């Protein structure tokens, strides 16, 4: 009962602190977009959100997401007004009469009993009668942030072609072994293909703290950047290499050639054919288990010791990385 009251009070706080002031100031009911999920999920809702804005000319738009990801709707050109409530659904339900629209983004992938049929971006639009391209939306960093990242890279001694890597932490079935990352860094450094910069955070919102030690042979910026700074730094790279994660989506949205590593999940449900041209997908027979029904999900653990990721060879990733560098 106490928890319910707290949730209702939080929803009322958003109404009194955000919704009503907008209504009074503009004379128009605001519109809420909501996706309280991961970075990649949020970015993939932007094409739908931008189209839905056309249905509400002159309205003020609110995007609700995790506080850690609050910069993304602004960088994606959706809105600068962001709320961060896990209980935004109560606002959409109880106070709908104060809103010009309430759009909760959901996809087939959110339901473990269903299997996806199309790319996330198209999936998010279909629910609202939108026919969308499967291309990622652009993310645009502020010039001051980009210049700050250029200065940081210079200070760190990064002055040539740069490959940015993101190793995790994530769900264990998405991670590539640490020794494989070290082998890739060594391979790319051997012939001067690129300096390797490692970014990310050692903390996962769900999994908690992961390995903080930098990958040997890399310039580590782990735990040193905000998300907004990470977007800007990735935009300066000649290549991004990462697991299935939000930063991979960011790389594609900044136009940087991206090399993704895929095991439990399948890239055709996340990215367009053009954007996945440098991806490496595991060849094990159970690859893509996340999209099957019944779902072999990482919450219950992998019955095959995550062989999908462990069998991806360093030399194959190195070849794909060089192809991406060549396209930069």
Query: What does the H/E/C string look like for the chain?
Result: CHHHHHHHHHHHHHHHHHHHHHHHHHCCCCEEEECCCCHHHHHHHHHHHHHHHCCCCCCCEEEECCHHHCCHHHHCCCCCEEECCCCHHHHHHHCHHHCCEEEECCCHHHCCCCCCCCCHHHHHHHCCCCCCCCCCCCCCCCHHHHHHHHHHHHHCCCCCCEEEEECCCCCHHHCCCHHHHHHHHHHHHHCCCCEEEECCCCEECCCEECCCCCCCCCEECCCCCCHHHHHHHHHCCCEEEEECCHHHHHHHHCCCCEEEEECCCCHHHCCCCCCCCCCEECCCCCCCHHHCCCCCCCCCCCCCCCHHHHCCCHHHHHHHHHHHHHHC
pLDDT at 110: 81
pLDDT at 322: 96
In a domain, 138, yes or no: no
Cα–Cα distance between 245 and 206 in angstroms, integer?
A: 13
pLDDT at 299: 61
Q: Which of 67, 95, 126 is the last residue of a domain?
A: 126
Cα–Cα distance between 286 and 306 in angstroms, integer?
A: 10
91 and 205 fall within a common domain: no
In a domain, 112, yes or no: yes
pLDDT at 39: 96
189 and 281 fall within a common domain: yes
53 and 194 fall within a common domain: no
Give the other-Cβ count within 10 Å of 205's Cβ: 12
Q: What is the CATH number of the domain that holds 273?
A: 3.40.50.2000
164 and 311 fall within a common domain: yes
In a domain, 132, yes or no: no
In a domain, 118, yes or no: yes
170 and 282 fall within a common domain: yes
pLDDT at 25: 97
In a domain, 136, yes or no: no
- The residues near 102 (Cβ < 8 Å, ≥ 6 apart) are 31, 32, 34, 91, 92, 96
161 and 285 fall within a common domain: yes
In the chain, how many domains are there?
2
59 and 117 fall within a common domain: yes
* Full residue range of the structural domain in which residue 17 is found: 2-126
In a domain, 156, yes or no: yes
42 and 158 fall within a common domain: no
190 and 98 fall within a common domain: no
In a domain, 224, yes or no: yes
122 and 176 fall within a common domain: no
In a domain, 229, yes or no: yes
Q: Which of 93, 126, 159 is the last residue of a domain?
A: 126
- The residues near 191 (Cβ < 8 Å, ≥ 6 apart) are none
pLDDT at 298: 62
195 and 272 fall within a common domain: yes
Q: Which of 56, 91, 126 is the last residue of a domain?
A: 126
Output the tens digit of pLDDT for each of the chain's 328 residues.
Answer: 788 889 999 999 999 999 999 999 999 999 999 999 999 999 999 999 999 999 999 999 999 999 999 999 999 999 999 999 999 999 999 999 999 999 999 988 887 778 888 999 999 999 999 999 999 999 999 999 999 999 999 999 999 899 999 999 888 899 999 999 999 999 999 888 899 999 999 876 566 666 668 999 999 999 999 999 999 999 999 999 999 999 999 999 999 999 999 999 999 999 999 999 999 999 999 999 988 877 766 666 788 999 999 999 999 999 999 999 998 7
106 and 147 fall within a common domain: no
């Amino acid at each position: 009962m106490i928890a319910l009251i707290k949730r209702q009070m939080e929803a009322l706080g958003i109404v009194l602190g955000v919704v009503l002031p907008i209504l009074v100031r503009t004379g128009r009911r605001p519109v809420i977009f909501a996706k309280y999920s991961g970075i990649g999920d949020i970015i993939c809702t932007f094409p739908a959100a931008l189209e839905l804005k056309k249905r509400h000319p002159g309205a003020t738009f609110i995007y609700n997401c995790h506080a850690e990801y609050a910069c993304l709707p602004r960088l994606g050109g959706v809105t600068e007004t962001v709320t961060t409530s896990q209980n935004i659904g109560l606002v959409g339900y109880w106070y709908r009469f104060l809103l010009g629209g309430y759009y909760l983004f959901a996809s087939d992938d959110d339901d473990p009993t269903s299997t996806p049929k199309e790319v996330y971006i198209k999936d998010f639009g279909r629910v609202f009668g939108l026919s969308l391209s499967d291309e990622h939306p652009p993310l645009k960093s502020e010039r001051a942030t980009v210049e700050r990242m250029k200065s940081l890279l210079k200070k760190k001694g990064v002055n040539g072609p740069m490959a940015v890597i993101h190793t995790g932490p994530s769900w264990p079935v998405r991670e590539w072994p640490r020794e494989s990352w070290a082998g890739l860094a060594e391979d790319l450094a051997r012939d001067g293909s690129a300096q390797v910069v490692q970014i990310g955070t050692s903390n996962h919102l769900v999994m908690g703290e992961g390995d903080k030690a930098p990958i040997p042979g890399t310039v580590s910026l782990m735990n040193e950047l905000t998300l907004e700074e990470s977007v800007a730094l990735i935009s300066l790279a000649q290549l991004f290499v990462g697991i299935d994660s939000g930063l991979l989506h960011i790389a594609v949205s900044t136009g940087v050639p991206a090399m993704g590593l895929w095991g439990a999940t399948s890239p055709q449900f996340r990215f367009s054919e053009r954007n996945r041209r440098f991806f490496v997908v595991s060849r094990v027979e159970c690859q893509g288990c996340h999209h099957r029904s019944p779902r072999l999900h990482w919450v219950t653990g992998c019955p095959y010791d995550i062989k999908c990721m462990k069998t991806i060879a360093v030399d194959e990733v190195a070849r794909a990385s060089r192809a991406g560098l060549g396209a930069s």
